[in-house]
A = this chain, B = another copy of it.
Amino acid sequence: MKKILIAGAMTLLMLCPAKAQIAWQQVEPGVWKGVVGTPEEYSLLGVAGVTPQKEGFARLPEVALPELANEIVGSIQDGKTSLRIPLQRKEQLYGFGLNFQTVHQRGKILNLHVDHYGGRDNGRTHAPVPFYISSSGYGVLINSARYLTVYAGSGARKDSPNAPVAKDRNMDKTWTSAPYSDAVSILVPAPGAEIYLFAGPTPMDVIRRYNLLCGGGTLPPRWGLGFTQRTKKLYTAEDVKNEADEFEQRGFPLDFIGLEPGWQSKAYPCTFEWDATRYPDPAGFVKDMLAKGVRINLWTNPYVSPDSKIYKEMYPVSGSHTVWCGIVPDLAGEKARKIWMDKLEQEHVNIGVSGYKVDEVDGYDRYVWPDVATFPSGIAAEQMRQTYGLWVQRTTAELYKKRNQRTFGLVRASNAGATSFPYVIYNDYYSHPDFITALINSGFSGVLWTPEVRSSSSSEDWLRRFQSVVFSPMAMINAWASGTKPWTFPEVENQIKEYAMLRMQMMPYWYSEFARYHFDGIPPFRAMNLEPGFNPEQGTTAKLSDANLEDNPYLEAVSKEIKDQYMAGEYLLVAPMFKGQKERTVVLPRGDWYDFYTGKYVGNGEKITVTPGLDRIPVYVKDGAILPFMEARLHAPKAGEKVNLEIRHYGKADGAYRLYDDDGETFDYEKGAYSWRDITVTRDKKGKLKGTISKAEKGKPNSIANVTWKFMTEE
């Protein structure tokens, strides 16, 4: 009876796709929610459990509902929800998750599906976040945990007022295989959907609103921004200790070591239990390591081995299908989450383990649960696939949160809502240029990405990749397979050490930029397109002036994308070099730019060609930039520890920077135990640059000892 009703109703819906009215409801300043049909209860933001970072919104401009809101159309057809968001000629689109090959998304057709990245930007990726940003200054999020099909400005309706005009391919050379499309269309395979609309006015404001809605960006512990090494798969406790000692002896920084599968008694599937041969005294081992100043991060996947002590208890709350013969915890259910969380707590967290690398939650279709799998919670296999990465992040994050201890780890899958999770995405792919494009795109999707270094075919490639990773969210050598160490290529050992130490020196800057991510939603690593002075014309082959830009508003949409350079925080433009490159072009946004290493002027709003040599990754600094450096150290400062600062100023303009400070390890900052120190550089009466830093607030954490100043351009 029920079935017949469904079939009948579906036929009706199919025959008469009714345009659903979208009533927009403001949920946060500049963020509106609209509903089409009957959205499913199970959603991405729901799984992520987001709590908006409300104070952050106050620092954004007041905005009204974007005009296009009334032109967004939703309908239920064929049992699915079809959404249409209008698109103007001049718009470019960014986002749609962790894409690896392009920054511009207009014209793409994507099937958003959590998966390993298969070498093509087709929507199957580790974080297929259904959120996009328009260059015109608004953003759209579809809060659905289904496989969404996105036509990002592809497909033309016959009754559109903007419909393109037919051409004859026989004789007309202007014929195109992809005629102009005036809309983004999204198919949600469910009879309803929630759609979020974000106002700007700028694209950066849109991203900030998205990130703030999702709780603000994660603020890693200070040690999370230090240097990390992942050791060989079958290393013993002794091997790991020796490796840490060698780092120390050779003078390489090291804040945490990642143990790979061999720490577990069985892996793929996992026991979550220490291997008694390789790690006879886990608690003692972790304690010894902490004493060396090196934290322990543990690899795992969530698939439970029959040999694990939790197998029996987990069995009834696991999915119908196995992964490598391990059962799949139904993390959509509280019971499975609790069993897993308790196990991790008891085996690892309680003895001092500092974090996790949660592997294989993205899945290859070939080994992960199939879409026909069922779960006791009633959540469909498809929904589970889209959200498993969120669940493992949320579950493990809560584990540390309740101890008032920050963590910072790695995960292979994520989705919308993950902004506040203390995780960085990584994968198996290994294209250095594509890793940089992914880093750029991560900033559009509220996720972090590491362009990790593994082994390399040459010392050149090794150093080039290392230079990039130093300017990324997690400075990691992932040597679980190769055993590569920072000194493996002796001919570049000094350069590696220099950059590893640079990473440490810049920690006050990185930490403050992450604080901005947390409090204001500003992604610490991001696209050039978000820079106010960025002129898309520099990316085009044609030489066009600002005047042309006004004449031709389609320019942004048609401009060549910049996908091999990015902004690292407020001030730094990073332009990585790739293996084999002797020179490269760098597009400088408008404003004066200075060389990071020398402080010399390099250009303004132009395309420059640079030949930096192997020793240098090109990095450029904004006029008036203030970069707080700390003394070179092998480990991040601990809570309460004070360090000396050298504050650098670049260029000729006055500067102002807010330096963030807290204990670096706990969540006390959420209760106000943090401070912002105002740094300013202005000219004195004689015209000489002079810096000042505000006093530490009373009763607030203060990690700064002495301050010295360095005027890079004028000294």
Residues of A at the B interface (CB closer than 8 Å) are 2-7, 9-15, 17, 37-38, 76-79, 82, 84, 107, 109, 149, 151, 154-159, 163-170, 175, 177-179, 185-187, 189, 191-192, 233-234, 261-262, 264-269, 275, 305-307, 315, 318-322, 324-327, 364-367, 369-374, 378, 380-382
Contact A372 B166 (CB under 8 A): no
Q: Which of B189, B192, B234, B324 contacts A189 (CB 8 A)?
A: B189
Contact B158 A321 (CB under 8 A): yes
Q: A76-B3, A155-B373 are in contact. Are A378 and B14 (CB under 8 A)?
A: yes
In the complex, given contacts A158-B318, A166-B266, A168-B268, what are 9 additional A-B residue pairs having Cβ atoms less than 8 angstroms apart?
A3-B9, A3-B76, A4-B38, A10-B191, A154-B370, A155-B373, A157-B322, A170-B234, A189-B189
Q: Which of B109, B264, B364 contacts A366 (CB 8 A)?
A: B109
Q: Which residues of the other chain, B, contact A82 by a CB distance below 8 angstroms?
A: 372
* A268 CB to nearest chain B CB (Å): 4
Among A264, A268, A318, max chain B CB count under 10 A is at A268
C-alpha spacing A4/B37, complex, angstroms: 9
* A686 CB to nearest chain B CB (Å): 63
* A308 CB to nearest chain B CB (Å): 10
Q: Which residues of the other chain, B, contact A5 by a CB distance below 8 angstroms?
A: 5-6, 9
Residue of B nearest to A156 (CB): B322
C-alpha spacing A159/B265, complex, angstroms: 24
Contact B325 A167 (CB under 8 A): yes
Q: A6-B9, A175-B268, A320-B158 are in contact. Are A374 and B17 (CB under 8 A)?
A: yes
Contact B155 A369 (CB under 8 A): yes
Q: A158-B321, A178-B366 are in contact. Are A10 and B17 (CB under 8 A)?
A: no
Contact B261 A371 (CB under 8 A): no
Q: Which residues of the other chain, B, contact A262 by a CB distance below 8 angstroms?
A: 170
Q: A154-B366, A305-B166, A326-B166 are in contact. Are A9 and B4 (CB under 8 A)?
A: no
Q: Which of B170, B327, B382 contacts A158 (CB 8 A)?
A: B327
Q: A38-B3, A365-B109, A372-B155 are in contact. Are A78 and B382 (CB under 8 A)?
A: yes
C-alpha spacing A627/B186, complex, angstroms: 57
C-alpha spacing A168/B305, complex, angstroms: 9
Contact B78 A380 (CB under 8 A): yes
C-alpha spacing A186/B157, complex, angstroms: 33
* Interface secondary structure of A, over-half rule: loop
Q: Which of B159, B191, B366 contacts A3 (CB 8 A)?
A: B191
C-alpha spacing A133/B275, complex, angstroms: 46
Contact B325 A266 (CB under 8 A): no
* A320 CB to nearest chain B CB (Å): 6
* A157 CB to nearest chain B CB (Å): 6
Residue of B nearest to A165 (CB): B325
C-alpha spacing A246/B322, complex, angstroms: 65
Q: Which residues of the other chain, B, contact A178 by a CB distance below 8 angstroms?
A: 366-367
Q: Which residues of the other chain, B, contact A326 by a CB distance below 8 angstroms?
A: 166
Q: Which of B155, B264, B315, B321 contacts A155 (CB 8 A)?
A: B321
Q: Which 10 A-B residue pairings sit nearest by Cβ, starting from the closest?
A: A166-B325, A169-B268, A78-B380, A155-B370, A15-B378, A168-B266, A82-B372, A109-B365, A185-B372, A2-B9
Q: Which residues of the other chain, B, contact A2 by a CB distance below 8 angstroms?
A: 9, 12-13
Residue of B nearest to A188 (CB): B372
* A65 CB to nearest chain B CB (Å): 24
Q: Which residues of the other chain, B, contact A159 by a CB distance below 8 angstroms?
A: 320
A to B CB contacts below 8 Å, 8 in the list: A2-B12, A3-B38, A151-B372, A154-B365, A156-B325, A158-B322, A166-B305, A168-B268
Q: Which residues of the other chain, B, contact A14 by a CB distance below 8 angstroms?
A: 378, 380
* A3 CB to nearest chain B CB (Å): 5
Contact B324 A177 (CB under 8 A): yes
Residue of B nearest to A326 (CB): B166
Q: A12-B2, A38-B3, A268-B175 are in contact. Are A374 and B77 (CB under 8 A)?
A: yes
C-alpha spacing A175/B326, complex, angstroms: 13
Contact B77 A168 (CB under 8 A): no
Contact B10 A6 (CB under 8 A): yes
Q: Which residues of the other chain, B, contact A306 by a CB distance below 8 angstroms?
A: 166
Q: Which residues of the other chain, B, contact A11 by a CB distance below 8 angstroms?
A: 378
Q: Which residues of the other chain, B, contact A175 by a CB distance below 8 angstroms?
A: 268, 324
* A101 CB to nearest chain B CB (Å): 16
C-alpha spacing A191/B265, complex, angstroms: 44
C-alpha spacing A3/B193, complex, angstroms: 13
C-alpha spacing A302/B432, complex, angstroms: 44
C-alpha spacing A534/B458, complex, angstroms: 49
Q: Which residues of the other chain, B, contact A165 by a CB distance below 8 angstroms?
A: 325
C-alpha spacing A128/B330, complex, angstroms: 33
Q: Which residues of the other chain, B, contact A179 by a CB distance below 8 angstroms?
A: 322, 324-325
C-alpha spacing A11/B191, complex, angstroms: 12
Contact B7 A157 (CB under 8 A): no
Among A14, A15, A159, max chain B CB count under 10 A is at A14
Q: Which of B6, B38, B370 contacts A191 (CB 8 A)?
A: B6
Q: A166-B307, A367-B177 are in contact. Are A187 and B109 (CB under 8 A)?
A: no
C-alpha spacing A324/B324, complex, angstroms: 47
C-alpha spacing A269/B158, complex, angstroms: 13
Q: A168-B268, A366-B177 are in contact. Are A149 and B371 (CB under 8 A)?
A: yes
